[in-house]
Structure 1
């Protein structure tokens, strides 16, 4: 399995014993994948190790469905040329719109249909109440959000997965009118649009800290201080009202996207989601479906229930 999102979803279905080889990002995350990270590696969709895949003699190879499509198309072509009988299965396992269908597909393929329905009942129980409340909100009731990736002044716009998750959580992306999915923006434009809430990601690139493998919030705290101290940003509504948050990509990207959406909904609409406890959803997911203890640092400042 090349993508760790599929590895994680397969573990939710209690079928991890069927996995015989994993991609680079599973190997590099032993805290979250303690046993699976010890399996043979097959590279990544950027640098696949086709020989390693074929040496494992798998019945099927799982790769992304839509992400890195040209690279994955090439991987599929090479594998099928080497072994015409090899089954290549294309699923993403991180996009909210297609996630439920892909879980059912995996349940069918892996003979885990009951487990798939059990997991989807939990998933819908987490995401459904948020969708119900957000769906009846007027646009004027949605706070203006500036979302920034781990790269400074890089934001998500219409067509980007992160933008869609902001919308699902009941936010109004201040750069949602831009045509590009991801783009660098001028810091002055943030001042001009004056967001009510700022969400800054960590957990990748030069901000690769936080998440499951860490328990010390000091780096998230330091990153937040960097953001609020930017020249001219002290007058932003988000800064003046102390609504600047650092969020780990561990829970907003990948198979855990629904947990990140729950955290965002709580941050955006604390009154509407007074009974929502994102940490409790997260804790149950880890213990019940991933076989892991709850630990890590995911949001700063911490959400108080």
Structure 2
């Protein structure tokens, strides 16, 4: 049975890769979600009974106890998840370089350590700050301290990429939430292997995985309604953008060159990267989509001559200087000027037609990536989105889900001056 189940894993992952990330339906990655929808409920019990009786096909997540067998024990586990009395859940976590990992999470969770900024923001989205017993040093450093407020007063357990495992063990969280890529498993999972502390890898930044990750967080922390509320808010705009762009033929979408870093105009993002996902969702054709190179094969470096030949109609950079505590656009203006005055880029249509845009990572690679998406969609298609107000969306998100006032510098040119 187990061999068959894991054969289905590969099929499911391949199918997931071609699904539209804007689709309202997504698969909650918790074992026990037998019918592969976005929740665990009595329908999963019914579906599992159908598997046992031979009526329904086996699915990837049907084995709720993750023991290689599908039987009445799995039905009992599903019922425990439904009524909130489960002792554990098996969670499928996404990675962007390796195959998905399955993690056993002890339940209920009352104490967690969070290593990176995106996870800290996600925790506040579901109103679970009181569970946080430790944070990575990035949460308390520099301008992040102002944004994260009370969370920045928690004990620190090293850098997000180089955690202090001994400190984690001393604080005894049930779960550590870490980035998808860093640190390597040898520096975290392997060292915590005998401690009973689960490591859950979550990004909260990749549109492809965002819904499943947020709902898995809601299940794990008993914050399902809070996770659902955030997703309802975010996908009000994601779905609106998808609907309005649905009728535009692919060959009529603008050619876009995303710049990964303002310090290197020739490093870009290709298929699988956040910048490529955002570009596609906003209705752009990333000229680097099919290239390979750089970290994970997703961040290649290109030749300036190639960019000139491709002649992008729009350029954007997703990691420009700015942020919540930056109250002027001086640094962004300097980056913008350096792009438009570049000898090579000054030859392309994007610069000639004044269609160069800058965004900060706070609205492109955090749980509020949909704010960056709203800006891109409006810049790409101003006539389609005259009524879309990305700044208002951002303000509501910050005040409603992060409990902070709206301030900062996040884009350039601003919406009104674009």
Q: Shift in Å at residue 141 of structure 1?
A: 2.3
Shift of 1:45: 4.3
Higher relative contact order (CA 8 A, sep 6+): 1
- Contact persistence 1:45–1:72 (CA under 8 A): no
Q: 1:264 aligns with which of 376, 385, 393?
A: 376
Secondary structure, aligned partner of 2:243: helix
Q: Structure 1 residues 201 and 118, CA, compared in 2 at 3 Å: closer, same or farther?
A: closer
Instruction: Give unmatched runs, 5+ long, in structure 2.
Output: 1-113
C-alpha contact 1:45 1:71 (8 A) present in aligned 2: no
Matches within 5 A, 1:16-55: 16-28=129-141, 29-55=144-170
Q: Provide structure 1 residue ranges, at least 5 long, that are not aligned to the other structure.
A: 204-208
Query: Do the aligned residues in 2 keep the contact of 1:157 with 1:182 (CA within 8 Å)?
Result: yes
**1:233 aligns with one of 333, 336, 345:** 345
Q: Is the 8 A contact 1:160 1:182 kept in 2?
A: yes
Aligned-partner SS, 2:368: helix
> Out of 190, 208, 212, which is 1:101 matched to?
212
- SS of the aligned residue for 2:176 comes to strand
Asked if 1:224 is matched to 2:336, the reply is: yes
Q: In the alignment, does 2:111 pair up with 1:15?
A: no
Shift of 1:135: 3.2
Per the alignment, do residues 234 and 4 of structure 1 end up closer, same or farther by CA in structure 2, a change over 3 Å counting?
A: closer
State the alpha-carbon separation in 1 of the partners of residues 351 and 304 from structure 2. 14
**Deviating 4+ runs (over 6 angstroms):** none
RMSD: 1.7
**Could you say what secondary structure the match of 1:179 adopts?**
coil
Q: What TM-score, normalized to structure 2?
A: 0.68
Matched, 1:124 2:124: no
Pairs aligned (count): 296
Q: 2-side partners of 1:72 and 1:2: how far apart? A: 14
Match of 2:286 in 1: 173
Instruction: Quote the Cα distance in structure 2 between the aligned partners of 1:43 and 1:183.
Output: 30
Instruction: Answer yes or no: is the 8 Å Cα contact 2:275–2:318 preserved in 1.
Output: no
Matched residues in 2 for 1:228 and 1:175: separation?
20
Larger Rg: 2
Supply the distance in 2 between the matched residues of 1:161 and 1:213 (Cα, whole angstroms).
24
Tell me the SS of whatever aligns to 2:318: strand
Higher mean Cα deviation, 279-288 or 224-233? 224-233
Aligned: 1:295 with 2:295: no
Q: 2:314 corresponds to which residue?
A: 197
Give, in angstroms, the shift of residue 73 of structure 1.
5.6
The match for 1:88 among 199, 202, 215 is 199
Moved more, 34-43 or 278-287: 34-43
